Amino acid sequence: MKIIVIGGGWAGCAAGLAVRKQGGQVLLLERADMLLGTGLVGGIMRNNGRFTAAEEMIAMGGGEIFELIDQNCLHRDIEFPGHPHASLYNVATMEPVIKRYLLAKGVEIHLKTRIDDVEMKDGEIRAVTGKKGEEKVRFTGDAFIDTTGTAGPPGQCAKYGNGCAMCILRCPTFGGRVSIAAKCGVTEMIGKKGTQIGAMSGSCKLLKESLSPEIGATLNRKGVAVIPIPGHIQNEVELSIKACQQYALPEYHDNLVLLNTGHAKLMVPFFPLEALRKIPGFENARYEDPYAGGLGNSIRYIGMSPRDDYLKVRGMENLFCAGEKAGLLVGHTEALVTGTLAGHNAARFAKKEKLLALPQTVAAGDAIAFVRTQMETEEGLGYKYTFSGSIYFERMKQKGLYSTDPTAIRESVAKAGMTGIFS
Ligand SMILES: Cc1cc2nc3c(=O)[nH]c(=O)nc-3n(C[C@H](O)[C@H](O)[C@H](O)COP(=O)(O)OP(=O)(O)OC[C@H]3O[C@@H](n4cnc5c(N)ncnc54)[C@H](O)[C@@H]3O)c2cc1C
């Protein structure tokens, strides 16, 4: 069996590994020169319900990547407003750790390989085609997984945001995102809230060295720095556009919340540089991601696939999806959970085995099913879903699915009959 994964973000990495664990050959195709996609600039793990989801995955035998991340954290078990027991991975060193691990497990990685078309017959993809550098490439497989994410290309950022802010996806260099499902003729869904189509990414990064030594030292020591924004500057800037509803708390409006992920992660989509430099300690501030972080950020959640709870794309025989492509799912944890299931099911499909849906008695299964139903409604398309806050975390708590006790989590996975299912 041969599975082709298109898009090497967290979802694609998890999918690739899950296929290998089922004994399949897997090719992971990534348009840029590094894996992890938007995970190259993220870093927050295990906050709120993400702790439960990570432990569930470990209990289900799909936890290797979570464990590698845990080992590469700058801070563990820290708290920032509204987010207890968080850990922060080092964005500067994470990618090579994962790349080496996947290679060691036999995932065949093709970087600088951008897929821009599909060959189809009888509702099945036969091959995907594109370019690796200047060379034309064609990859055939038994099943395909679309993990191309929902960020960019620059035309979307220009149309629905403030233009290309030069984010980590580097579309002008590597070419913009191309959705595989859309190339197959699948009508994709678009996140929208009021008049805003898609959503602007919710954090940016400052060079830690460009901040005052006191702020830098606090970040290095505690992982978190909360700096009040003087009232006159709050009035100067408009920060209402947020991708992440889990950060829609007054603390994030009144303060600059900074997290140490290697850089100083600033928990707002963007902040005008001139205004920022008026705040004590930020006089020399400089953006690291996106480079034009004073003006805007990437636009995401345009182009999500209709899918079932096996993460198979509706209307397609052999196409699966995961990560942001599988719904308005925000986060690395969410991408790893769905990526693992999509990879596992693509392998089952190729082996002609019954596909797996995770039961709703575990948070991972409940989130996948809940987001699918929400995305079928106009109102549901106006929200984002994450284990870490907002609507879905509330639901987790109400259903008794949130726990920070690894033993209890292992027990609930065992009760659901899912122990080691991904092993
Ligand atoms: C600035 C920012 C900060 C964030 N911070 C956090 C955080 O701290 N914690 C957290 O949990 N979440 C965070 N998130 C959200 C999180 O990063 C994403 O929701 C999640 O990682 C998405 O993973 P993905 O694999 O679905 O998509 P992506 O990360 O978008 O990956 C998709 C990949 O597909 C590739 N690709 C696209 N089209 C093609 C093609 N045609 N051919 C080949 N390759 C292609 C892209 O280059 C990319 O590498 C952040 C997001 C952003 C933008």
Reply yes or no on whether the pLDDT at 242 is more than 90: no
Report CA dihedral (19, 20, 26, 32) to the nearest 10 degrees.
90
For residue 139, the cross-strand partners are 128
Mean pLDDT for 45-63 is: 98
Give the model confidence (pLDDT) of 338-375 as tens digits: 999 999 999 999 999 999 999 999 999 999 999 999 99
For ligand 1, the distance from its centroid to the CA atom of residue 236, given in whole angstroms, is: 31
Give the model confidence (pLDDT) of 135-194 as tens digits: 999 999 999 999 999 998 999 999 999 999 999 999 999 999 999 999 999 999 999 888
The share of the chain scoring above pLDDT 90, in percent, equals 91
For ligand 1, the distance from its centroid to the CA atom of residue 170, given in whole angstroms, is: 12
Residue nearest ligand 1's atom 16 by CA: 331
Reply yes or no on whether the pLDDT at 219 is more than 80: yes
Ligand 1: residue of 73, 109, 148, 200 to mutate (most ligand atoms within 8 A of CB) is 148
**Where does the pLDDT of residue 243 fall: very low under 50, low under 70, confident under 90, or very high at 90 and above?**
very low
Residue nearest ligand 1's atom 4 by CA: 42
**Where does the pLDDT of residue 249 fall: very low under 50, low under 70, confident under 90, or very high at 90 and above?**
confident
**Where does the pLDDT of residue 245 fall: very low under 50, low under 70, confident under 90, or very high at 90 and above?**
low
Q: Quote the pTM value.
A: 0.98
Which pLDDT does position 196 carry in this prediction? 87
Reply yes or no on whether the pLDDT at 239 is more than 60: no
- Can you tell me the distance from the alpha carbon of 386 to that of 48, in angstroms, rounded to the nearest whole number? 10
Give the model confidence (pLDDT) of 268-298 as tens digits: 999 999 999 999 999 999 999 999 999 999 9
Tell me phi and psi for residue 334, to 5 degrees.
Answer: -65, -40
Ligand 1 atom with minimal separation from the 34 CA: 49
Reply yes or no on whether the pLDDT at 75 is more than 90: yes
Ligand 1: residue of 34, 38, 177 to mutate (most ligand atoms within 8 A of CB) is 38
**Where does the pLDDT of residue 238 fall: very low under 50, low under 70, confident under 90, or very high at 90 and above?**
low
- Can you tell me the distance from the alpha carbon of 199 to that of 313, in angstroms, rounded to the nearest whole number? 23
Which pLDDT does position 357 carry in this prediction? 98
Residues in the chain: 423
Which pLDDT does position 82 carry in this prediction? 95
- Ligand 1 neighbours, Cβ below 6 Å, are 6-12, 29-32, 37-39, 41-44, 114-115, 147-149, 151, 169, 177-178, 201, 203, 298, 323-325, 330-333, 335
Residue nearest ligand 1's atom 15 by CA: 331
Mean pLDDT of all residues belonging to the chain: 95
